[in-house]
Amino acid sequence: MNLSLGIAAFTISLLGLIQVLITPHFEQWMKKYFLAFFSIMVAVSFFNLFGQFVSGYPDLTHARVFRFTLFWESFLPSLAMLFLTVFLLRSSGEDDWKRSRLFHIVAALWTVYIGLLIYTQFTTAIYSIDDSNVYRRGPLYPLLLVPPALIMAVNAVALWRRRNLLSRRQRIAFGIYITIPLLSMLVQMIYYGIYMILLGSSIAALFMFNSLWIDQSERYYQQVQENRQLRVDIMLSQIQPHFLYNTLGAIQSLCKTDPAAAEKALAMFSKYLRGNMNSISKDRTIPFTQELEHTKLYLALEQLRYEDALQVSYDLKCTDFDIPTLTLQPLVENAVRHGVRGKTSGRGCVTISSQEFEDRFEITVTDDGPGFDPGREIQDGRSHIGLANVKERLQRAVGGSLYIDSAPGNGTRAVIVIPKGGE
């Protein structure tokens, strides 16, 4: 029976390890935890099975090997219990877990357990190997189970106290993970010779992993849906009604005075709208040249109305890098609307430049407008969702950032920073 239990535990742990390796949409720190845990359980199962095969042979070599496997079969699961505490702390939002009182308590209990385990190697009071190379419990054997039982109990109390910081699925997963090994420990203590802890821990870990994976997957697809909605918001924030009306008005005027120019303008407007629509279906970066081309379409449409009142200058020292969609164009639109058109004369220049550094790319949009105080909220009755979305998209897509440098009377300078390796 114990051989069957050992094989079952080894199989479950190995399946869990493989599942962790191939499962998508799982946070990296969680993935590392389960990789470590299932690796430990595979090793424990191996030592258990190996120990069963060498047990019963009375020669010295087999006896030493058996004692060696027993030690690691007892030591490694204690690491898993310590990992559980760290995992619980991190899952409930405590990244600085080393300073946590809970971790200190569990670490102290774990140290006591390791001390007992080492003491066991020099006494027969807790367990021993008889002359037939068979494992025997000693009168103080229950003492060895006290620290692990207390660790699980402390984790159970911590789970209850932190329940509001965890999702319902997380609470259930942690609860099962704590309860099953604890019950298995009690069964193994009462029914001598049955290896229940190993199997119970493997089953509990696999259940916990799958529960958290489902939870992570639901959050992932929810984030995907939110990102899609965000892209819609970005598109709508960039295609303001005034821009549509003014552009169509300009095209309508050209139809009367210059039909050929009107046809060309209508083609540009159609291409511009198509570019905005295409951004909704893209959740990845695009070449900077593609984003620049889309921005140039916007500027060309604005120049239909403003003609030579809107000057555009380019100083592009590098273009071979990627950028999230609709990150440059919103900054240029702000430069035109609040910079150039914000001047008393209504005339001005927008400069778009790019530069490569050792660790990053920078795209700068500069206008010679009236400027503003970045520390004060702009109260002009218009939506300013564009800049907030640009910042969010840069951070989420490439770990980038957006900086605004402006002062009243000195124009505005917006800088996009794209870290190398983040694109």
Mean pLDDT calculated for residue range 306-320:
90
Which of 214, 89, 101, 104 is closest to 162 using CA atoms? 89
pLDDT of residue 150: 92
pLDDT of residue 378: 53
pLDDT of residue 226: 65
pLDDT of residue 241: 60
- The amino acid at residue 28 is Q
pLDDT of residue 383: 46
Tokens of 236: 């709508």
CB distance 16 to 44 below 8 Å: no
DSSP state, residue 360 = E
Mean pLDDT calculated for residue range 124-143:
87
Which residues neighbour 193 within 8 Å (Cβ) at sequence distance 6 or greater?
A: 2
Q: Give tens-digit pLDDT for 221-230.
A: 776 666 666 6
Which residues neighbour 345 within 8 Å (Cβ) at sequence distance 6 or greater?
A: none
Mean pLDDT calculated for residue range 190-209:
76
Q: Which residue has the higher pLDDT, 58 or 313?
A: 313
pLDDT of residue 374: 67
Greatest mean pLDDT range, 53-62, 201-210, 330-339, 351-360? 351-360
Domain 239-419, CATH class in plain words: alpha beta
Fold of the CATH domain 2-224 = Rhopdopsin 7-helix transmembrane proteins (1.20.1070)
207 membership: H or E segment, kind and range? helix 196-238
pLDDT of residue 229: 63
pLDDT of residue 296: 92
**Mean pLDDT over each residue of the chain, to the nearest integer:** 83
Mean pLDDT calculated for residue range 373-387:
56
Q: What is the pTM of this model?
A: 0.53
pLDDT band at residue 135 using 50, 70 and 90 as cut-offs: confident
Q: Which residue has the higher pLDDT, 233 or 197?
A: 197
Distance of alpha carbon 269 from alpha carbon 236, whole angstroms: 15
**pLDDT for residue 367 is more than 90:** yes
Instruction: Count Cβ atoms below 10 Å from residue 192 Cβ, excluding itself.
Output: 9
pLDDT of residue 107: 95
pLDDT band at residue 314 using 50, 70 and 90 as cut-offs: very high
pLDDT band at residue 113 using 50, 70 and 90 as cut-offs: very high
pLDDT of residue 381: 47
pLDDT band at residue 157 using 50, 70 and 90 as cut-offs: very high
**pLDDT for residue 95 is more than 60:** yes
Q: Which residue has the higher pLDDT, 18 or 2?
A: 18
Q: Give tens-digit pLDDT for 253-282.
A: 888 888 888 888 888 888 887 776 666 556
Domain boundaries of the chain, sorted by first residue: 2-224, 239-419
- 310-316 and 348-356 as β-strands: parallel, antiparallel, unpaired? parallel
pLDDT of residue 376: 60
